[in-house]
Amino acid sequence: MSLQKLLCYHLIWTLAAFLVVESANFDSTLGRFVGFNEFGMKLAESWNRGPLVHKERAVVDWYCKGNAQVFDSAICEKSVKPQVKLSSVTQAGGNHPAVLMCSAYEFYPPHIKVSWLRDGKLMTSEVTSTMEMADGDWYYQIHSELEYTPKSGEKISCVVEHASFHKPMIYDWDPSLPESERNKIAIGSSGLVLGIIIAAAGLIYYKKKSTGRILVPH
């Protein structure tokens, strides 16, 4: 079959699939048509027995896979990497004593995936995530919470997958100190350093003034 006929068939069946998009569609991962309701399942079964499924597979091979790298580069050039923050939050109630939040800000395009790992294993329960929320300035944000019971020596990580990344980014949680305690220590350390600087400056000033005095004996 000529390339023109193949493209013509593809265009016709793509239009047909668009008209029944809620009923059936071609799944390039499975390599066959799948139905979403009773009518769509019958339609997909019929298409999978005919020559159409082979034409769709051919289009995937020579067009989709051949241009995947080009499409990926074009998306990455127009994407904005998310700013990711991993923090501990206070829980109002529940059976778990600890709640972690993984937040991603200022990213584009909006499609993003946030998941959790516990000692390298994917967490599928006790996870709550918001939808991608528009900031109103073309950027988006998303928040995901993990409720868990801490264990000594465990490793918990937040995994973020986005078009701006060439691979999933992993952010490890440091449970050594709660965030509020780390902030208190940082503020206290800054105050201590500032106090030492002021005290040293005062001592230097006092010594300079003392060396300029003339002592008169009584």
Tens digit of pLDDT for each residue in 171-216? 999 877 555 544 554 455 556 666 677 766 666 766 666 665 544 4
Q: What is the dihedral of CA 121, 122, 127, 131, to 10 degrees?
A: 150
SS3 content of the chain, % helix, strand, coil (to 5): 40, 30, 30
- pLDDT value, residue 113: 93
Residue predicted with more confidence, 45 or 90: 45
Q: Do the domain assignments include residue 11?
A: yes
Examine the domain organization and report whether 103 and 155 are in the same domain: yes
- pLDDT value, residue 201: 67
- Complete DSSP assignment for 137-152: SS-EEEEEEEEE---T
Examine the domain organization and report whether 24 and 45 are in the same domain: yes
Cα–Cα distance, 117 to 123 (Å, whole number): 6
Cα–Cα distance, 50 to 43 (Å, whole number): 11
Q: Are 160 and 114 in contact (CB under 8 A)?
A: yes
53 lies in which domain range?
Answer: 3-77
- Complete DSSP assignment for 65-124: HHHHHHHHHHHHHT-BPPEEEEEEE--SSSS-SEEEEEEEEEEBSS-EEEEEEETTEE--
Q: Domain boundary residue among 77, 112, 143? A: 77
Examine the domain organization and report whether 62 and 99 are in the same domain: no
Please report, as a single letter, which amino acid is at residue 97: P
pLDDT digits (tens, 9 = 90+) for 50-88: 888 888 888 887 777 777 766 666 665 678 999 999 998
How many domains does one find in the chain? Answer: 2
Examine the domain organization and report whether 10 and 67 are in the same domain: yes
Q: What is the mean pLDDT of residues 92-111?
A: 83
CATH of the domain at 62: 3.10.320
Examine the domain organization and report whether 19 and 53 are in the same domain: yes
Residue predicted with more confidence, 205 or 112: 112
